Amino acid sequence: MGVFYTISLYLYSFLVGFAGLFNPKAAEWKKGRKNPKWKSINSHGKNVVWFHCASLGEFDQGLPLMDAWKAKFPNDFILVTFFSPSGMLHYHKRKNPADAVDYLPLDTKKNAREFIQTIQPKTVFFVKYEFWGNHLKEAKKSGAALYSVSALFRPNQIYFKWYGGYYRTILTQFDHIFVQNQTSFDLLKKIQIESVSVTGDLRFDRVFQNKEMASKNETLEQFLSGEKALVIGSSWPEDENCLKELINQTDFTKKVIIAPHEINENHLAQIEKMFNKSCIRYTDLTEKTDSNELPKILIINTIGHLTNAYQYGDVAYVGGGFSGNLHNILEPAVFGLPVIFGPKHVKFPEADSFIESGFAFEIADPASLTKAYQQIESTKNEINQRLMSFMSSQTGVADKIITELIH
């Protein structure tokens, strides 16, 4: 099975290289690995703590643990690696404690051996998933302590199939696996992986960090004039088509903030045309704009303002639920906003948890969206109080992990 794994790696690399002729992201994946920075890393004799994050989302998830680790062990050297260009290209936009950052080399035996011999990690954390077998095995042989944090498992994954034996051996390399939920715990126990504990999702810690860092946004405050908005986060056309019917209703008077997933000109123009109410783009709203003439819909056509925008809402619609790529519903939830999203969210257990608790509402079409919104409007104060209490109860994951490791 290991032979097939190696062949699949080389095949993947070849296909990405070919795709790079047409796809900028694929081209960056290849280009970023041509001149590895990790080969010249100098930790100055400090203990190297290696965090691997698949992409920017996992980096955000791992940040609370990185921060907590650096606070506990300020003299350690933190190395972060990424598989995806999204992490490498945008990690610097987050305040972070990393001492060095680079792409993870392709997971061949030769690459893994050179990487581990060069960086000589003492402690290794893999955030959520992406278990690269050769790197983990080489790190284990070197004497490093290996941990998986905020791991999430589902029954249909290869580790739990009859033919998944090789991949199960990869999981056995970890000294301990810290999982998000009981389902993951039970699945690992079934395949005789015993060193497991349920500590929760580091993203809860992260959204509270974001909340504490949230700053006043004068542009949004000018637009809202003290009102609360329906905040639509990371929306795709399928989401916007559902929202159109609700927002176009004559008796819908709430102000709306839309932060589309894609902010290219074609998509922005498409959004502006679908509503029978006037819109204004974030970058077009200035201090000189007459507040009495402001439209009801504000389109955020910039990057980096969505997380902060949720503090100005009282209801949130989170996009990606029609494609199976649901955006982070914890970001609005930390501000107490009830959440609405599409039907495809099997990879996001917090979605089902929120639905069961009455914090969130799944919709499939414009009619169910309108019904969900009306239900929220009549109960949102009560939902807000219960949701805030629930979110607070889920924090402290980074501290739990570190406490387990040092005792």
| Per-residue pLDDT in tens (0 to 9) along the chain, 407 residues | 577 888 888 888 888 888 888 888 888 888 889 889 999 999 999 999 999 999 999 999 999 999 999 999 999 999 999 999 989 999 998 999 999 999 999 999 999 999 999 999 999 999 998 899 999 999 999 999 999 999 999 999 999 999 999 999 999 999 999 999 999 999 999 999 999 999 999 999 999 999 999 999 999 999 999 999 999 999 999 999 999 999 999 999 999 999 999 999 999 999 999 999 999 999 998 765 666 678 999 999 998 899 999 999 999 999 999 999 999 999 999 999 999 999 999 999 999 999 999 999 999 999 999 999 999 999 999 999 999 999 999 999 999 999 999 87
> Between the CA of residue 171 and those of 160, 175, 193, what are the distances in Å?
11, 9, 8
121-127 sheet: strands from edge to edge: 100-103, 77-82, 48-53, 121-127, 145-151, 176-179, 196-198
Residue 402 lies in a domain: no
Same-domain status, 193 and 245: no
> Is the residue at 405 inside a domain?
no
Q: CA-to-CA distance for 36 and 189, rounded, in angstroms?
A: 38
Same structural domain, 268 and 340:
yes
Listed residues 182, 200, 218: the one ending a domain: 200
Q: What is the CATH number of the domain that holds 122?
A: 3.40.50.11720
Write down the residue that tokens 């905040």 correspond to: 231
> CA-to-CA distance for 59 and 161, rounded, in angstroms?
29
Count of structural domains within the chain: 2
Asked if 75 and 186 sit in the same domain, the reply is yes
User: Domain range spanning residue 359?
Assistant: 210-393
Beta-carbon neighbour count of residue 214 at 10 Å?
16
Do residues 308 and 217 touch, judged by C-beta distance below 8 A? yes
Both 20 and 133 in one domain: the answer is yes
**Inside any domain, residue 401:** no
Q: Say if residue 21 is in the same domain as residue 140.
A: yes
- Closest Cα to residue 319, out of 395, 262, 270? 262
Rounded Cα–Cα distance for residues 395 and 209 (Å): 10
Same domain, 135 and 166: yes
Q: What does the alpha-carbon distance between residue 170 and residue 362 come to, in Å, rounded to a whole number?
A: 36
